[in-house]
Amino acid sequence: MILFTDVSLAFYKTLFFNELARKDDILVVYKDNPHRPFRGKDFLDGEMNYNHIILKGSRVESYRQLIKVLLSVKYDKLVVGGYDNFIAWISVCISPRKKNGIIVESTFRETRKKGFRVLAKRLFFKRVRTAYVCGKSHADLVKAFGFRGKIVNIGTVGLIHRVPQPHYKERSQVKDFLFVGRLTKVKNLEWLIDRFAQHPNLTLTIIGAGELESKLKAISPPNVLILGPMNNMDLPKYYQAADVFVLASISEPYGLVVEEALNNGTPVLLSDMIGCQDNLVVANNVGLVFQHNDVADFENKLAHICNVEFYNHLRLNVSKMDFERHANNMVNSFAEN
């Protein structure tokens, strides 16, 4: 049995656990944190077809429930969902090190390099034998913490609602850009809107909600449209209608929306702070990466991706991506390791 602890409720985790449960016996212990501000209504949806427990009550009561599970359940592997929660620390300290694994969704780009927390993380990783990383930059992080155990590249943070990969069809112009996500500071949307204000011949559609919604609407020029939040199941038509998906975040440990865009046939334009850029985007040549907050570099990459011949080359590469194999890689990484 694989025991997962310190897991947050999210549709992409539910999809992953459902598929893993078809191959292995699992038990998932969730934190009691169902509230997700500024998400689509179906962010937490999904039938859980696997054994699971949701920790309830006060923190002390949650810890008591967790310890009871750790001491009473017979498991072969323990996998924690991170290292910044006391639930994860309790888990790896009680469980034998040889059984312990961690899913690493953070990268070195947004993680502090000095201070007490770094020392604490080094100590945490001494209690772990296997690190399941989402990509190269995530692997670089665990190595920086002095981890000497086994590193398994799972390639993603969860499973998206996959659609049949659209067949390649060239486009005659590159005009319509799309953003999907929370309307928060970290997404760098004020900067992005300002860039598109300089290009009235292009359009930017923004889907999402957040504390900046009113401000962004107030500063948006006519070629920027803010539609508000949408359910995940309604997004494919917007992804497939767009020419390019753009994400200018100043911090993005992974970026599951990038997978969604690519699975819908859409090339991407990303800042260098997006965690999935190395393994997913650069490796498959399906988009461009610009230096975050660098206007000159953004303008250069924007002009490049608007070149129709180059753009259609990216679009052809996107059409060749195999998201079924991508999903199977994540599932098999746990079932076989």
- Kindly report the CATH number assigned to the domain that includes residue 92: 3.40.50.2000
Q: What does the pLDDT average to over 228-246?
A: 95
146 and 62 in a common domain: yes
145 and 35 in a common domain: yes
Residue 152 lies in a domain: yes
Reported confidence tier of residue 112, pLDDT bands at 50, 70, 90: low
Residue 168 lies in a domain: no
Residue 167 lies in a domain: no
Task: Determine the Cα–Cα distance for residues 285 and 266; give it in Å rounded to an integer.
Answer: 12
219 and 134 in a common domain: no
CA distances from 265 to 135, 143, 295, 325 (A): 21, 34, 27, 16
Lowest-pLDDT choice from 24-28, 29-33, 61-65, 198-202: 29-33
What confidence tens digit (pLDDT) does each residue in 169-196 have?
A: 999 999 999 999 999 999 999 999 999 9
Q: What does the pLDDT average to over 279-298?
A: 97
pLDDT of 41: 58
Number of helices followed by number of strands (H, E) in the chain: 12, 13
Q: What does the pLDDT average to over 133-144?
A: 92
331 and 270 in a common domain: no
Residue 208 sits in which domain range? 176-321
215 and 148 in a common domain: no
Tokens 């975050």, residue located: 292
pLDDT of 175: 98
Task: Determine the Cα–Cα distance for residues 252 and 258; give it in Å rounded to an integer.
Answer: 11
Beginning with the edge strand found earlier in the chain, give each strand of the sheet holding 287-290 in spatial order.
Answer: 224-228, 203-207, 176-180, 244-247, 268-271, 287-290
* Residue 45, pLDDT above cutoff 90: no
What's the number of domains the chain is made of?
Answer: 2
Residue 166 lies in a domain: no
Task: Determine the Cα–Cα distance for residues 297 and 303; give it in Å rounded to an integer.
Answer: 10
150 and 278 in a common domain: no
The proportion of the chain whose per-residue pLDDT surpasses 90, expressed as a percent, equals 83
331 and 295 in a common domain: no
Task: Determine the Cα–Cα distance for residues 129 and 79; give it in Å rounded to an integer.
Answer: 10
240 and 227 in a common domain: yes
Tokens of 94: 């009680």
Residue 171 lies in a domain: no
Among 25, 43, 21, residue whose Cα is nearest residue 33: 43
pLDDT of 120: 87
The proportion of the chain whose per-residue pLDDT surpasses 70, expressed as a percent, equals 94
140 and 23 in a common domain: yes
245 and 126 in a common domain: no
Residue 139 lies in a domain: yes
138 and 32 in a common domain: yes
Q: Is the dihedral of CA 55, 31, 325, 241 positive or negative?
A: positive
Reported confidence tier of residue 113, pLDDT bands at 50, 70, 90: low
Residue 74 lies in a domain: yes
Tokens of 330: 């994540």
290 and 203 in a common domain: yes
Residue 85 lies in a domain: yes
pTM over the 0.85 mark: yes
Q: What does the pLDDT average to over 72-83?
A: 96
Which amino acid, 74?
A: K
